[in-house]
Amino acid sequence: MKNFTKAIFLFSFIIPTSFAQENIWVITQKLSSEIKLSKQEVRQIYLGININLTDTITSSATTLSSSHQIRSIFNAQVIGLTESRLQSYWAHMRFSGRTKPPKEYPTINSLLKHLEATKGSIGYVPADTELPDNLIVIYPEN
């Protein structure tokens, strides 16, 4: 039993720990009021539930393509699901008429360009990425 517990503990933390080395920023365009999102809120936005960022602006998630390593890190750190389980989740959402997966961008540059031009769009980049002037970090909160 002791070995079993040890194995479960080990398996549960190996992959997230390896992904935890690089931090992630969740970013969007500057808004009329300052906004910070919790991990729960970011997770929900990326699972297809949009929220009101201001009275007139609604969130809209964008993501990197599935082959991008930053996406794997974001999946592990923020969403908490592997890519294949996310794909399974999206099949459930799409074919039950609930919601659709975020629009994908192949590179961080193309994602940044989209965010610069689209109010309410949310994306993620490696922490310490040099951001265009009109983009701000909304997660993590500190």
Partner 1 sequence: MKIKNTAYFYLTFFILALLLSIKLNAQEVQFSGFTRLVTGASINDKTPYEEHHGDFSFKPDSLIGLQLDVPINKTFSATAQILGTRDKHKNSGLEWLYLSYTPNASTNIKLGQLRTSFFTYSDVLDVGFAYHWIKPPEEVYASFFFSHFDGINLQHHIVNKTFTTKIEAFYGKFNDEVSFSDQTFTPDVENFTGLVLTTEFNALSIRAAYSQANVSIKDDNLMPLITTLHQLNQSTAAQALLIDDKMKYYQLSINYDAFDYFIKTEWLSLKHDLHLIGEGTSYYISTGYQLNDYTFHLTYADRDDNFSRKLPSLSLPSTPSLKPLISTYNGIQAELIEADQNSWSLGVRWDLKSDLALKAELKRTHYSFTHNNVNVLMLALDWVF
Q: Which of 64, 76, 111, 115 binds partner 1 (CB under 8 A)?
A: 76
Q: Which of 81, 131, 136, 137 binds partner 1 (CB under 8 A)?
A: 81
Contacting residues for 9 by C-beta, under 8 A, at least 6 apart: none
Nearer to partner 1, 30 or 36 (CB): 36
Q: Determine the size of the site formed for partner 1 (CB under 8 A).
A: 35
- Rounded to a whole number of angstroms, the distance between the first and last alpha carbons of the chain is 40
Q: Which of 31, 35, 44, 140 binds partner 1 (CB under 8 A)?
A: 44
Query: What is the token pair recorded at 27?
Result: 């970013």
* DSSP-assigned letters across all residues of 46-82: HTT---BSSSS-B-EEEEE-TT-HHHHHHIIIII-S-
Q: Which amino acid is at 82?
A: T
Q: Which of 56, 92, 107, 113 binds partner 1 (CB under 8 A)?
A: 92
Contacting positions for partner 1 (CB under 8 A): 8, 11-12, 15-16, 38-41, 43-44, 49-52, 58-59, 66, 76, 80-85, 87-89, 91-92, 94-98
